[in-house]
């Protein structure tokens, strides 16, 4: 499976929106986090993010088929944040996200630090991020009695 990233523009918002809903709906059903779930966001939020000068949005393709998206937020001092990344449910567990992280790290070779957060209760996400070298930092943020957010960081050794 050939995994690639395509920079998204405003005209891609609908595709990203539809994939985001499909990808996050199982989590919304499970955790009932109506205030924070990407499955509950209006399409206008995706358009706004695509238009941000400090954001790069990419459609993730597997063999030319759109299977997810990733947003890279550029902060100060070569710090980057991933928020969100998602893969359509039928393509999860196939190593796509792992490959996407490698592609993004190659694309942003000036990065000193990568940050992201995830749901503590989602052991598969935790396993993936730790396998990729992310370390848990800081405290936690309780969204509701079913869901807690944890924060991760990966420091890149620039030789």
**Residue pLDDT, tens place only, 11-69:** 999 999 999 999 999 999 999 999 999 999 999 999 999 999 999 999 999 999 999 99
pTM for the complete prediction?
A: 0.95
On the CB side of 133, CA atoms within 13 Å amount to 10
Write the DSSP assignment of 90-124 as a string of letters: GGTTSSHHHHHHHHHHHHTTT-SEEEEEEETT-HH
Distance between CA atoms of residues 11 and 15, nearest Å = 9
Tens of pLDDT, residue by residue over 104-122, are 999 999 999 999 999 999 9
In the chain, what are the domains?
A: 3-155 (3.40.630.30)
pLDDT at 35: 93
For the stretch 24-37, pLDDT in tens is: 999 999 999 999 99
Give the model's pLDDT for residue 153.
97
């Amino acid at each position: 499976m050939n995994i690639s990233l395509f920079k998204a523009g405003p005209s891609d918002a609908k595709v990203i929106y539809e994939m985001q809903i499909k990808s996050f709906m199982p989590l919304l059903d499970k955790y009932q986090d109506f205030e924070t779930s990407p499955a509950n966001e209006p399409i206008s939020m995706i358009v706004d993010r695509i238009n941000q000068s400090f954001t790069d949005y990419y459609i993730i393709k597997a063999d030319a088929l759109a299977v997810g998206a990733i947003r890279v937020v550029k902060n100060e001092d070569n710090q980057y944040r991933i928020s969100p990344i998602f893969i359509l449910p039928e393509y999860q567990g196939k190593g796509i996200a792992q490959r996407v992280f490698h592609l993004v790290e190659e694309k942003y070779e000036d990065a000193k630090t990568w940050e992201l957060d995830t749901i503590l209760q989602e052991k598969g996400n935790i396993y993936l991020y730790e396998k990729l070298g992310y370390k848990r930092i800081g405290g936690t943020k309780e969204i509701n009695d079913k869901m807690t957010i944890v924060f991760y960081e990966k420091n890149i050794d620039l030789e």
